[in-house]
Amino acid sequence: MSARPELASFAAIDALTRGRLHAEPPAAPRGEFQRDRDRIVHSTAFRRLEYKTQVFVNHEGDHFRTRLTHSLEVAQIGRTIARLLNINEELTEAVSLAHDLGHTPFGHAGQDALNACMKDHGGFEHNLQSLRVVDRLEQRYAEFDGLNLCFETREGILKHCSLANARELGELGQRFLDRKQPSLEAQVANLADEIAYNNHDVDDGLRSGLISTDGLMQSRLFARHHDEVMAKYPQLSGRRKVHEIIRRMINTLILDLVATTRSSLEKAGVKSIEDVRNAPPLVGFSDEVRDLQHELKHYLRVNLYQHYQVMRMTSKAARIIQSLFGTFLNEPRLLSPGHQENVQRDGARAIADYIAGMTDRYAMREYRRIFGVEEIAGLF
């Protein structure tokens, strides 16, 4: 095996990390970001992603993406890009694997519902919640709450943040106030997320039958690769055809992103991670491919995410979350003693933490336990 080439000067370097909230001995023989990645994989919140909805609720079919397989695809795409740009693969992987740790059950419907519930209590943002998971909610270490990750990993997890919240976050929030960027590794993870979900939602959407190949021909990105595949394999149909198209779309997006980013890096003349933070966003697609990507996104929004059958699922999910939240807020004594203590300390935020941590199936079970009349006599 050939030795790994030295990282570019603008990459995040383990030895130069801004460090952890609680000082710890070095991670050697692992690197610091490798340790972060490992801590994320071992966390409880990571395992819960298996039963959290991406678009289709988990029990609708065994082949649909869940938030866990989504996160793995993001990490894989992110690592490919990071390696091609000669930046820190492990940091990109860590940020990718952690980026959805704070996501509620039931996908975006869950996040919107919880945000509405928390309107008078500081709101709910899943990015901020992912940070809260790794900074506070995981309880695994003797000496600190959370996973005590490096600054660079936490900076990458906090993709967006309102200015009001940024002011509360000290060093980590400062970049939003100063309008600065995170590391290239974080910027890559962010776009790897977009590449992953656009493509796997095409795949899952077709599998579900809610969208069709004919409809998708409205998207030039899809149509271009569809025609390429059909020219080469005129007899191909079914799942193999879909996969041949999608793998080409992913490839096109990755190669465009890498080429465009390389030229932006060169133009900006960045030499260090500090230069990256002070520059405008440097990781991105060419104008042409960005338009194609937006067109596909728009198609998916109108035809898949807003499909009436998906809307029925999301509206039901929102009602489950609203009902649980309202009930726990009014009657905290329905919570187990540990959660009651958290509510005494953190008020409504502790209820949001509890609900955000639920998997889809746990939220449904909890809903039945509280509201299901057939279980009124059952203690378990």
Closest CA to 135 of 149, 155, 156, 153: 149
Which residues 6+ apart lie within 8 Å of 365 measured at CB?
Answer: none
Judged by CB, which is closer to Mg ion: 253, or 324? Answer: 253
Length in residues, the chain: 380
CB of 196 to Mg ion, least distance (A): 7
Query: Which residues contribute to the site for Mg ion (CB under 5 A)?
Result: 100, 193
Instruction: For residue 175, count other CB atoms closer than 10 A to its CB.
Output: 17
The DSSP bridge partners found for residue 20 are 150
CB of 293 to Mg ion, least distance (A): 15
Backbone angles phi, psi at 86, to 5 degrees: 60, 35
Q: In which element (H, E) is residue 191 found?
A: helix 184-208
Judged by CB, which is closer to Mg ion: 94, or 279? Answer: 94
The DSSP bridge partners found for residue 150 are 20
Q: In whole angstroms, what is the distance from residue 125 CA to residue 194 CA? A: 18
Within the chain, how many helices (H) and strands (E) appear?
Answer: 19, 0
CB of 19 to Mg ion, least distance (A): 27
Rg (CA), the chain: 22
Q: Which residue is nearest to Mg ion (CB)?
A: 193
Instruction: For residue 20, count other CB atoms closer than 10 A to its CB.
Output: 20
Q: In whole angstroms, what is the distance from residue 139 CA to residue 337 CA? A: 17
Contacts within 8 Å (CB) and 24+ apart, 84-87: 84/254, 84/258, 85/8, 85/184, 85/188, 85/258, 85/261, 85/262, 85/265, 86/5, 86/7, 86/8, 86/11, 87/7, 87/8, 87/10, 87/11, 87/12, 87/183, 87/184, 87/185, 87/188
Judged by CB, which is closer to Mg ion: 97, or 350? Answer: 97
